[in-house]
């Protein structure tokens, strides 16, 4: 039945949204733990590892900034 399928789809989307919110909250908590010295240290990397670039781009997205630095 269409109503049951729609209800199931809404339930699935709700669970995905809950997981996304939990992940976002965890990212915000981790971000809050950064201190100025760590950020200054990151700025000294002339050619950072691609994983560092990926994480920093994600942080820039969270702050609504450009990622083409």
Helices (H), 1-69: 2-32, 36-43, 50-62
The neighbour count for residue 63, using CB atoms within 10 Å, is 8
Q: How far is CA 62 from CA 3, 8, 33, 39, 44, in A?
A: 36, 30, 15, 16, 22
Tens-place pLDDT, residues 4-47: 999 999 999 999 999 999 998 998 888 888 888 888 888 888 88
> What pTM, to 2 d.p., does this model score?
0.50
d(CA 58, CA 69): 12
């Amino acid at each position: 039945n269409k109503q049951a399928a729609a209800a199931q789809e809404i339930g699935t989307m709700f669970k995905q949204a809950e997981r996304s919110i939990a992940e976002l909250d965890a990212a915000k908590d981790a971000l809050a733990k950064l201190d100025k010295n760590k950020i200054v240290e990151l700025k000294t990397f002339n050619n950072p590892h691609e994983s560092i670039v990926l994480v920093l781009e994600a942080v820039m997205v969270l702050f609504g900034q450009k990622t083409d630095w």
